[in-house]
Amino acid sequence: MREIITKIDEITGNIATLKATGVGLGELAVIQSPGRSTLGQVISLSGGSVTVQVFGGTKGISTSDTVRFLGVPMQAKFGESLLGRIFNGSGQPVDGGPEPVEEEIPIGGPSFNPANRIIPMQMIRTNIPMIDVFNSLVVSQKLPIFSIPGEPYNQLLARVGMQAEADIIILGGMGLKFDDFIFFKRTFEEAGVMNRVIMYMHLASDPVVECLLVPDMSLAVAERFAEAGRRVLVLLTDMTNFSDSLKEISISMEQIPSNRGYPGDLYSQLAARYEKAVDIQGLGSITILAVTTMPGDDVTHPIPDNTGYITEGQFYLRYGKIDPFGSLSRLKQNVVGKVTRKDHNDIMNTMIRLYSDCRESRNKIAMGFKVSKWDELLLAYGKDFESELMELNVNLPIEAALDRCWDILARHFDPVQTGIKQGLVDEFWPKDTIKAMEKAA
Amino acid sequence: MSALGKVVAAYGNMVTAAFEGSVRQNEVAYILCSDGGRLKSEVIRVRGDKCNVQVFEDTRGIQVGDTVEFTGDLLVVELGPGLLQQIYDGLQNPLPKLSEAAGLFLKRGIYLASLDRESKWTFTPTAKEGQEVAAGDVLGWVPEGKFEHQIFVPFNFIGKATIVKMSPKGEYTVDKTVAVVKDENGKTRELGMVQVWPIKIPLKLYQERILPTEPLVTGCRIIDSFYPVAKGGTACIPGPFGSGKTVLQQLISRYADVDIILVAACGERAGEVVETLREFPHLEDPYTGRTLMERTIIICNTSSMPVAAREASIYTAVTLAEYYRQMGLGVLLLADSTSRWAQALREMSGRLEEIPGEEAFPAYLQSRIAEFYERAGLVRLRNGQTGSVSIIGTVSPAGGNFEEPVTQGTLAVVGAFLGLTWARSNARRFPAIDPLISWSKYLDQMRESLDRRAPGWIDRVKGAQRMIHEGAEVKKRMDVVGEEGTSLSDFIMYLKAEFLDAVFLQQNAFDAVDAANTLERQVHTFDQVYAILLKDIKAKDKDDARNIFFRLTALFKNWNSSPWGEAAFRNYEQQVMDFLRD
Ligand SMILES: Nc1ncnc2c1ncn2[C@@H]1O[C@H](COP(=O)(O)OP(=O)(O)OP(=O)(O)O)[C@@H](O)[C@H]1O
Ligand SMILES: [Mg+2]
């Protein structure tokens, strides 16, 4: 067995430094204090000195605690028996069940070879019109929900998770409030899907940096399931806590921060996780839906900013709705009108354009300018758009949602006012709306 | 020659090694891991008997005491026939072959030959036995797609040599000898078709650099007509996330009128490269009718691949570009995104504990950016032909704020600035190049060549640019005083600017015809647009004016999406003429 070190030289922040030999970068260590043990990972070597990042935090650690190096980097348990189980941020079961014993797999493994990737083309139906119609989610997409704290982002995450027809859902909680943990657990249990859910729960009360392992464990397990042909949905909440932990470590390491205290490699760190999303030809897939709470609703803050540069679009959650402005699915063009109905593209663009015009009319009112007949039409349209499509409780299959779009348009406009191509109007414009009846009379 | 060393410290992707013997700055070293892995690295700082190396791989498992093998060679790329159509990582590993060797995922420590060793090329000698040659002289050529791929005396060949024997015309693999030469010291050397060149040293075996004066047509109207790029010139595309940098580069990679395209996906999403590598083999090159892949090389070091290799990938790409320029070809390098490369520099600089500059970027950031863009250029080769490397790089400024070091450092050295903004992309005004902030110094530099194609062109374009600004001024005032407080003539000014924007500056990337325009068509359309801008529009009131421009906009959009010269095209053109005559 490996040597046990009994003296820690230095403890700062979440970092401990000690003398040891034969230790590799990234190797796992167990720090044994009286009554508790925590995991650590080697992050730097210098001569005989080894610096260990302590996941459980260094609070209470004494220079005389024992440290044992395990000779391997951090691993995760993998196997079918993980389904339905709940683990903590270090991968220990917290549901009272036994340790899974099938297999230990490395985490944070190499990238998928880009030459093996395929163009993703399978739409994920969520029955949320603001997603399905306006920013379709596609298998293997990586997409964050940008949200101000306090918005129902976890509710949205759970709902998409349940409706997304995935074989396996992996929920990675980082700094999760206990109430939210219970909410997720209940929701999955009540829907009867718990037997295909795996939860890694790092709670707000746990040592902060322990959450750093959550995305890697979730994604390593997801990767193995995807290779075995399973469609995996990974839900990560909240990546802002993950990024803040990275910041803590880098400050302890006395790295020079690049932007508002965040390390210069924040982009690479986040990308290493998000890029695990993949659609493997002939096998399974990983789709990642994450939450990024925006400090101060500021999208230029380093966390949402770096995230936006990595992910394939984003959903803005504002005032309980997915805001069509700023929200974007970069993969929607792969499916819109190709796997969905042929009116999808035009109706989507028209609805958004008119809704944007409606917002301008609202601005006019706010500025005290005159309101025209056209403005009035737009205002009435915007109200219906919001209540019948944007509200988060609207639950419609995409076909019904597209029909509803036509309905709303026909209620407020003449076809020419919408600028929709004649061919589509002929085929899809509702024939029996009140407006049409009035005209006939 | 090659020294040995031992790891004494390691942090992230930086390793400090103690060595015996001599070590060269930027030479390649291998770290021998206890698990048998051989990790490629590059020496980036030497101090006394210690040096710092950046490791191009995941560094997990490296231990103090691990052996370091120094090779004495700088980081090089292989040059020779068969580069086209390849998909390489940042160190020129062929990714499809890597997949055969390692499966679905990348694997550290595997380095494969960049050029295929089995395929045969039909070599035609052009040099003669007895001829005196030097580095960069042509020995013969092989057909590579539609190009005559020149086979050179290696660029690093020192001194003069005499050809002793030329191989006859025939089929050769790249390693086979095509010429035997005797160098100045009387030593005989066999020359094949493959050679190497260090990526961080510009390839300058040309007679002279000349001022770029010919346009590089991208097919994108706002670029070619308003803010053009020259063949051999440089441009940058900064923009916040989601503003359309990558889509714009993808469009340019399809339609640009150059011989060869190098796509350098540097620290961005793997999925975006996949679109190129899956679609290009099936898309037609608009200039030759062959597939687009036949003129393309992809260098792909995406965001989750090792950071140090990302730093190298930009240089790998530009070196391959310089190689094809040496054959008298026009090459365009599209780099997405140079900010990721700058971040890789920043990470290393931080680990070296260098004194940081703004936003923790190293103080030499600006000079590195300048050195990179300076490798572009139009050159006259020794045989009198010209060749060019043009570079268009995207920049991803933190927070979308252009006042940051990478954007500013880039703006200081490039010839054109195509700035994307959220204001335009959110309003779906694509391409989201903001005409209020963008500029190109090539418009004046290419005056002669452009005015030759269309007399008075530059002045008309500048006139239109002014109108965009005037229209924006009116809009600003109108936002304060409302439409009712704006005069009819100001209002028409505003509508004209909006019209110019809608039908000329904006372009529908998803319309088969509108997606790209030839320069001829751009000039043709622009002249009609400009005539309308100059025309005195008689409108009864603002609603009337708005309706006139609604109609005009719809008319021009239909015209834009009609194939050049066809009946529909002529029909819409007639309607435009009729309007102008009224
Ligand atoms: N010319 C265009 N026409 C239509 N839509 C476009 C155009 N350009 C961009 N878009 C839309 O904007 C989205 C984002 O574009 P793109 O990926 O090019 O942004 P980016 O600037 O490269 O972002 P990032 O910095 O995050 O990589 C696209 O997925 C597409 O929906
Ligand atoms: Mg991009």
Residue A277 sits in the same domain as residue A316: yes
The Cβ of residue A232 has, within 10 Å, a number of other Cβ atoms equal to 27
In this structure, which amino acid lies at residue A421? K
Judge whether A147 and A308 are in contact, CB under 8 Å. no
Annotate B521-580 with DSSP letters as a single string. HHHHHHHHHHHHHHS----SSHHHHHHHHHHHHHHHHHHHTSPTTSHHHHHHHHHHHHHH
Q: Which amino acid is at A221?
A: V
Whether B304 and A111 lie within 8 Å, measured CB to CB: yes
From A185-199, B362-376, B472-486, B517-531, the region with the lowest mean pLDDT: B472-486
Nearest to B270 among A112, A309, A353 (CB): A112
Task: Quote the ligand 2 centre to A102 CA distance (angstroms).
Answer: 41
> What are the φ/ψ torsions at residue B383 (nearest 5 degrees)?
-85, 10
Q: How many domains does chain A have?
A: 3
CA distances from B176 to B130, B170, B305 (A): 20, 11, 34
How distant is the Cα of B339 from the closest Cα of chain A, in angstroms?
11
Residue after which a domain boundary falls, among A284, A310, A332: A332
Same domain, A318 and A358: no
Average pLDDT, integer, range B485-491: 93
Instruction: State which of A33, A56, A73 marks the end of a domain.
Output: A73
The CB-side HSE value for B101 (13 A sphere, CA atoms) comes to 14
| First CA to last CA distance, chain B | 83
Lowest mean pLDDT among A166-175, B260-269, B418-427, B475-484: B475-484
Hey, is the C-beta of A420 within 8 angstroms of any chain B C-beta?
A: no
A110 touches chain B (CB under 8 A): yes
Write out the two tokens for A39.
Answer: 């995991």
Same domain, A32 and A158: no
A204 closest CA partner among A238, A233, A171: A238
Instruction: Confirm if B61 and B33 have CB atoms less than 8 A apart.
Output: yes
3-class DSSP state of A90: coil
Mean model confidence pLDDT for chain B: 94
Question: What pLDDT score was predicted for residue A436?
Answer: 57
Tell whether A274 is covered by a domain.
Answer: yes
Same domain, A43 and A130: no
* Ligand 2 centroid, distance to B257 Cα (angstroms): 22
CATH topology classification for B4-74: Thrombin, subunit H (2.40.10)
CA B290 / ligand 2 centre spacing (Å) = 27
Is it true that domain B86-107+206-440 has CATH number 3.40.50.300? yes
Which residues in chain A are closer than 8 Å to B346, comparing Cβ atoms?
A: 258, 264
CB B564 within 8 A of CB B544: no
* Shared-domain flag, residues A202 and A116: yes
Question: In what helix (H) or strand (E) does residue A146 lie, and over which residues does it extend?
Answer: strand A142-147
User: Whole-angstrom Cα distance, residue A425 to residue B316?
Assistant: 53
Q: What is the mean pLDDT of each run of 10 residues along chain A (441 residues)?
A: 80 91 93 87 94 88 90 93 95 94 93 95 94 96 95 94 91 96 95 95 90 96 97 97 92 85 92 97 96 92 95 94 92 93 92 91 87 90 96 94 96 86 88 62 51
Domain that holds residue A52: 3-73
Give residues 125 to 144 of A whose Cβ lies within 8 Å of B.
Answer: 140
Residues carrying CATH 3.40.50.300, chain B = 86-107+206-440
Measured distance CA(A306)–CA(B222) in Å, rounded = 29
* Domain shared by A36 and A112, yes or no: no
Percent of chain B residues topping a pLDDT of 70 = 100
Q: How confident is the model at residue B1 (pLDDT cuts 50, 70, 90)?
A: low
Q: Work out the pLDDT band at B528, boundaries 50, 70, 90.
A: very high
CATH 3.90.25.10 fits B454-581, yes or no: no
Whether the CB of B338 is below 8 Å from some CB of chain A: the reply is no
A110 found inside a domain: yes
Q: What is the pLDDT of residue A29?
A: 93
Please, is A393 exposed, middle or buried when counting C-beta atoms within 10 Å of its C-beta (0-12, 13-18, 19+)? exposed
Q: What is the pTM of this model?
A: 0.95
Using the beta-carbon criterion (under 8 Å), do A24 and B62 form an inter-chain contact? yes
Instruction: Kindly state whether A256 is in contact with chain B, defined as any CB-CB distance less than 8 angstroms.
Output: yes
Report if residue A337 sits inside a domain: no
- Same-domain status, A262 and A391: no
Beta bridge partners of A285: A231, A279
How many angstroms separate the Cα of A116 from the Cα of each of B57, B95, B185, B269, B460? 20, 9, 50, 14, 49
Q: Is B143 on the interface with A (CB under 8 A)?
A: no
Claim to verify: residue A174 and residue A222 sit in the same structural domain: yes
Q: B342 near B408, Cβ under 8 Å? A: no
- Any idea what the CATH number is for the domain that residue A56 is in? 2.40.10.170
Say yes or no: A206 and A250 in one domain: yes
The answer on pLDDT for B416 being more than 90 is yes
Same structural domain for residues A128 and A168? yes
Give the containing element (helix H, strand E) for B367: helix B365-373
Measure A18 CA to nearest chain B CA, in Å: 14
Q: What architecture does CATH give domain B121-193?
A: Beta Barrel (2.40)
Q: Which of A73, A90, A121 is the last residue of a domain?
A: A73
Q: What is the pLDDT at residue A435? A: 58
Burial B381-411 (b: 16+ CB within 10 A, else e): beeeebbbbbbbbbbbbbbbebebbbbbbbb
- Give the distance (Å) from ligand 1 centre to CA of residue A325: 14
User: Ligand 1, residues B218, B243, B269: which to mutate, most atoms within 8 A of Cβ?
Assistant: B243
Which tokens sit at B475?
A: 């809009």
Q: Please indicate, yes or no, whether residues A326 and A367 belong to a single structural domain of this protein.
A: no
